Amino acid sequence: MKLANLERLRIATLPTPLQYAGRLSEALGGPKIFIKRDDLTGLALGGNKLQIVEFLLARAKAIGATCVVTCGGTQSNHACQTAAAAARVGLKCVLVLASGVHNGLQGNLLLDNLFGADVKLIEAPATSPDELDRAMEEVSEHLRRQGEVPYIIPLGGSSRYGAAGYVLASLELINQTTELGIRPDYLYVAVGSGSTLAGLIVGAKAFSAPYRVKGVAVYRPPEEQKRAVWALAQDTAELLGLNVTVEPHDISIYGEFLGPGYGHLTPEAREAIRLVARTEGLILDPVYTGKAMAALIEHIRVGWIGPDETVIFLHTGGVPAVFAYAPELTD
Ligand SMILES: Cc1ncc(COP(=O)(O)O)c(C=O)c1O
């Protein structure tokens, strides 16, 4: 398998723990909920993107890049973790960020500054990848003229090298379920650019996971999201030389928790964040994990997930954004 040979920089603290959330399970009336703590990957207050960025920065180093350029919204966890990882391996980092409502020097934007990233704020919606791509190209052209060798990382690190990170992370997770002696029925995860879900679907198929992966759309409508994830999953399996065929029915994404759109806190996500904080002492975020947890809570309440079943919730991080959303989260 080519997976073991794929170049990777060791930056994240792995394996992350898989923990039983007993008080949350009890509060919701039954199903056993385990939380996979990818919010504890180490740098920049943790998060899923470090697992992805390890492979992308290895590519950057391999082509002799002197600097990485990536993009997102002002509260992008991906951008922030890229900035931290770039600092760690000695690469310059330029972030092209779509200015939105949460653009005070708080949360991820504050951390970007501490990590020494060169932040370029542009007037564009964070949900407009084409405009962000164009802006990254312009910035890179400018850098080339200054003698730099830029490496562009797409929105959310969503490429087959990035998704490969979550194929490997699946192996780590499946081994942990075996060690704990559990057979989870479902794995819940927030879906933004789709690289995490694509990697998880390929990993679940390649390593015969007991669980079904359930994505919760937080960035774009589910049909659009499904098409993107399907293409990326197939591409990733091919890159890794895995004997895995991903079919459209392998991809399950719920769209009804997106609310008014990317980055808008919903009442359900707010409730989910507060419930998890008050039962487990854990911090979820308003943009990604809060909405994914809102979906899990709703599916338990309506009985789609029974009291005898077992669920893993992938905590993908996002903690810094809580500080940028303080007025909306508190009483
Ligand atoms: C906290 C958090 N959770 C989930 C995701 C979704 O990951 P992906 O973009 O790979 O779908 C992101 C993306 O930035 C994130 O920051």
Amino acid at 317: G
CA distance 8 to 272: 35
- Beta pairing, strands 310-315 & 32-37: parallel
Domain shared by 174 and 35, yes or no: yes
DSSP-derived 3-state class of residue 148: coil
How far does residue 97's CA lie from ligand 1's centre (Å)? Answer: 16
pTM beyond 0.95: the answer is: yes
Where is the domain boundary, 94, 127, 157? 157
Q: Are residues 179 and 305 in the same domain?
A: yes
Question: Cα(48)–Cα(58) distance, rounded to whole angstroms?
Answer: 17
**What are residue 36's DSSP bridge partners?**
18, 314
Residues spanned by the domain of 319:
2-47+158-329
Same domain (yes/no): 217, 86: no
Residue nearest to atom 6 of ligand 1 (CA): 192
Active-site annotation holder among 76, 158, 159, 170:
76
Q: How many CB atoms lie within 10 A of CB 176?
A: 17
Question: 101 and 248 share a domain?
Answer: no
Say yes or no: 288 and 304 in one domain: yes
Q: How many Å apart are CA 225 and CA 321, to the nearest integer?
A: 23
Picking from 57, 107, 48, 125, the residue whose alpha carbon sits closest to that of residue 86 is 57
Q: Are residues 40 and 54 in the same domain?
A: no
Q: Which helix (H) or strand (E) holds 4?
A: none
Strands 150-152 and 67-73: parallel
**Are 152 and 190 members of one domain?**
no
Distance CA 163, CA 228 (A): 12
Which of 138, 157, 176 is the last residue in one of the domains? 157
Report the nearest-CA residue for atom 1 of ligand 1.
318
Asked which of 131, 157, 183 is the last residue of a domain, the reply is 157
Residues 103 and 146 in one domain: yes
Ligand 1 first shell, C-beta below 6 A: 47-49, 77-78, 156, 190-197, 285, 288-289, 316-318
Domain check: are 239 and 318 in the same one? yes
Q: Name residue, tokens 């933004």.
A: 192
Query: What is the structure's pLDDT at 295?
Result: 98
- 62 and 102 share one domain: yes
Report the nearest atom of ligand 1 relative to the CA of 194: 11
In this predicted structure, what is the pLDDT of residue 1?
Answer: 53
State the DSSP string of 257-322.
Answer: T-TTSTTPPPHHHHHHHHHHHHHH-----TTTHHHHHHHHHHHHHTTSS-TT-EEEEEE-B-TTHH
Residues of the chain with pLDDT under 70: 1
Q: What is the pLDDT of residue 103?
A: 83
Report the CATH number that the domain containing residue 286 is assigned in CATH: 3.40.50.1100
pLDDT number for residue 5? 82
What is the position in ligand 1's atom list of the atom closest to the CA of 155? Answer: 9
Query: Looking at the 3D structure of the chain, how many domains does it have?
Result: 2
Question: What local confidence, expressed as pLDDT, does residue 30 receive?
Answer: 83
Residue 76 is among the residues annotated as catalytic for this protein: yes
d(CA 190, ligand 1 centre) in Å = 6
